[in-house]
Structure formats: C-alpha cells, structure tokens
C-alpha cells in the first residue's frame, strides 16, 4: 500500500515523547505498519517497543530504529536527534521490501536515549524465542552530504556511562561559614580537572565531560553542606571504559578524603561501544559502492553513544550512518530538525542493505 512518508514524519515530529513514554508514537507507527504491511505479525515488547515479523526462513535480519525524543527543559521533549525520521525510514523501507520472502524483523525501539531500550528488546525477543542471525542499525549524522552512507569496520560509536557523584559535608548558618564543612572548593576543583582526567590518568582514547553540578540548596541563610556532580565518561573500547571508571572513582575518593568529605557514587545509563562486524561492513560497503550510492568511510569512531551497542554484543551487527546535510545543526542542538529530504533516499539505502546483508 502506498503511503506518504512526509505526512507520517510530520505527525510523529508533532508528538515528541521521552524515553519510556512513547505511547502515541508507538500507536501511530503500529497503525501505519498495519496499513503498509498487512502481512506483518506485530508483536509488542517491553514498554512501547514492538517488532514486526515478515517473511520466513532462518536467515533472519533485524532492522532496528529508535523512536524516542530528547528530554529538554521544562519536563518536555523534542525530536533533536532524528528518531522521528528514523522510524519513518524503517517503515518506508518495510514497504519497499514488501514481496521479499526473506524473514525480516522490523524493530521499532523506545528508550534509546537512556540506554535501556535495546537491552530490553533483546531480552524480550529471547524470552519469546524470536531468533535472528544478524542486526542492522542506522543513524542520521549531521555534517556529511545528504544521502551519503557512512560505513566503518570495528568501533563505530563510543561506549559511555554516566557518573553521579555526591559529596557530603556539614551546613551552618550563612553568617558563620567557618562552622560549616562546605564542599564548594572541592566541587570547583573536580569540575576543572574532570576534562583532563583521562589524559592525566594515562587512559586514551577516552573523554570525561561534566554535564551537571549542584552546590547546596537555594537558601541565602545556609552555608552549603553537600554537592552533586554528574559526568559522562566515554571510550571507543568497553574494557578501556571500565578501567577509566575505576581510576576516576579512585581519584575522586582520594580528593574527598584529603579534604575531609564523604562521597557516594552511582553509575547509570551505560551504553556499550558499537562494534561493527567486519564481514558485514565489507559486504555493505562493496554492495553500496557497486550500486552507485555515495559511500564514505569515517576514520575514527563517533564520540556519541548508541544503545545499538547491546546488539553488537549479541550477534553480528552493523550500524551505518546516513549523512543528513553538511550545514545541518548537530544532534541534540536546539535548532536540529531531521531533514525530510533524507526520507526517500534513506529508505532506499535501508532496503538495499536489507537485501545485501
């Protein structure tokens, strides 16, 4: 059945929903899939994630799209990463693959931004005995020509993890700051040195980025007695990321002890590195080039993270990039908007790869 990808994208773009809350997004996509691929068996998974099964046989390929929006200020959401466009690309590719007898699993996955959706989808499919041989993922990438395809063997995107570090001292009246144990100076030092920590600790390539900090409470009469620091650690290697986690915590604990403060910490939102299967990457590159697609090979892993990395731990997996325009604002930028000019070429790229892999 013919449908209008642009209209569906506009509808999805108008109802951005944060991770784990993709109720309306999921409903719109399920309804569109029923119209486009009435032969598909639609199976709900955890949350609002669902998978559509078509075709038959054991040579099963999962083609995965995310669909959640980015959290923004005011407890709101916005599609600043293009997951609305990704979902339409996958649905359009499913329409282009109608009549293909190979077994495909079209996976519309929520909760990507928090790093939880892919892992849960894998567990759900295993529990339901939904088997597959390989997995294909994709992401639009600003800064590259519109419709170009980025293929890379090995590490494609960095793994990352969030650190919540809480520093505990003692408050006092603001008129008697000398009677408090104020963590302001320790917090300021940690904010200053965090970006330098990977190099200082001899762990490269890796990054440490402070993403949030809070000191005390909003009260003019109280000298602060506690602080909170949130940071993201990144590396293209999961073992290196684990090493960085250990060294960063040792560093923070030592600094806190020296200053006389207590520290507690918590790790959250772990994203494994996306590791592309070499044979799949080579096959994809050769097929795309021979078909005349604009093929690019990024030299280094992308610094952002994607929970597709869970799939690359489970089965042969390939994530490709799709150029979304050389002047396009970066992902998560307030001016970012998925380019609707990528809808048709992107779907053709996906359909071609689905047949080639």
The residue segments making up the domain with residue 189 are 159-270
Are 283 and 182 members of one domain?
no
pLDDT of residue 1: 54
DSSP strands (E only) in the chain: 41-44, 50-54, 56-66, 70-72, 76-78, 102-109, 134-141, 149-150, 154-157, 159-168, 172-173, 207-215, 222-223, 226-235, 262-271, 274-276, 295-296, 317-323
Rounded average pLDDT per 10-residue block, the chain, 357 residues: 87 97 98 96 98 95 98 93 98 96 97 96 97 98 98 97 98 96 98 96 96 96 97 97 97 96 96 98 97 94 96 96 97 96 97 97
- Which residues on neighbouring strands pair with residue 139, listed in sequence order? 321
Query: Half-sphere exposure of 223 toward its Cβ, with a 13 Å CA cutoff?
Result: 17
3-state SS, residue 169? coil
**Residue 191 to residue 12: CA distance in whole angstroms:** 38
Are 151 and 76 members of one domain?
yes
Are 141 and 206 members of one domain?
no
Are 181 and 283 members of one domain?
no
Domain at 79, CATH number: 3.40.630.10
Domain at 231, CATH number: 3.30.70.360
Does the model's pTM come out above 0.85?
yes
- H helical segments located in 20-81: 23-36
Are 286 and 234 members of one domain?
no
- Which residues on neighbouring strands pair with residue 155, listed in sequence order? 275
Are 247 and 302 members of one domain?
no
> Who contacts 304 (Cβ-Cβ below 8 Å, separation ≥6)?
157, 158, 331
* Number of independent structural domains in the chain: 2
Are 131 and 237 members of one domain?
no
């Amino acid at each position: 059945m013919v449908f209008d990808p642009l209209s569906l994208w506009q509808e999805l773009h108008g109802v951005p929903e944060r991770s784990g809350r993709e109720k309306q997004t999921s409903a719109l996509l399920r309804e569109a899939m029923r119209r486009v691929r009435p032969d598909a068996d639609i199976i709900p998974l955890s949350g609002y994630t669902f998978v559509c099964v078509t075709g038959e046989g054991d040579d099963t390929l999962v083609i995965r799209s995310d669909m959640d929006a980015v959290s923004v200020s005011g407890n709101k959401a916005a599609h600043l990463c293009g997951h609305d466009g990704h979902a339409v690309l996958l649905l359009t590719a499913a329409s282009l693959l109608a009549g293909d007898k190979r077994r495909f699993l079209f996976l519309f996955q929520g909760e990507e931004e928090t790093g939880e959706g892919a892992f849960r989808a894998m567990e759900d499919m295993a529990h339901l005995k939904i088997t597959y041989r390989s997995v294909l993922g994709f992401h639009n990438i600003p800064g590259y020509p519109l419709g170009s395809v980025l293929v890379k063997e090995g590490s494609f995107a960095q793994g990352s993890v969030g650190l919540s570090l809480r520093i505990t001292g003692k408050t006092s009246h603001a008129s008697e700051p000398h009677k408090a144990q104020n963590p302001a100076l320790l917090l300021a030092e940690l904010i200053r040195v965090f970006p330098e920590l990977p190099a200082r600790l001899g762990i490269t390539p890796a990054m440490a980025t402070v993403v949030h900090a809070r000191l005390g409470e909003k009260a003019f009469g109280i000298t602060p007695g506690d602080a909170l620091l949130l940071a993201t650690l990144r590396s293209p290697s999961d073992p290196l990321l684990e090493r960085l986690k250990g060294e960063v915590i040792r560093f923070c604990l030592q600094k806190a002890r020296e200053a006389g403060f207590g520290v507690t910490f918590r790790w959250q939102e772990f994203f494994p590195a996306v590791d592309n299967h070499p044979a799949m990457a080579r096959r994809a590159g050769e097929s795309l080039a021979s078909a005349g697609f604009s093929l690019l090979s990024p030299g280094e892993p992308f610094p952002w993270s994607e929970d597709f990395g869970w799939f690359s731990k489970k089965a042969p997996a390939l994530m490709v990039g799709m150029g979304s325009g050389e002047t396009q604002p970066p992902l998560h930028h307030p001016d970012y908007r998925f380019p609707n000019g990528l809808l048709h070429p992107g779907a053709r790229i996906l359909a071609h790869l689905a047949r080639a892999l």
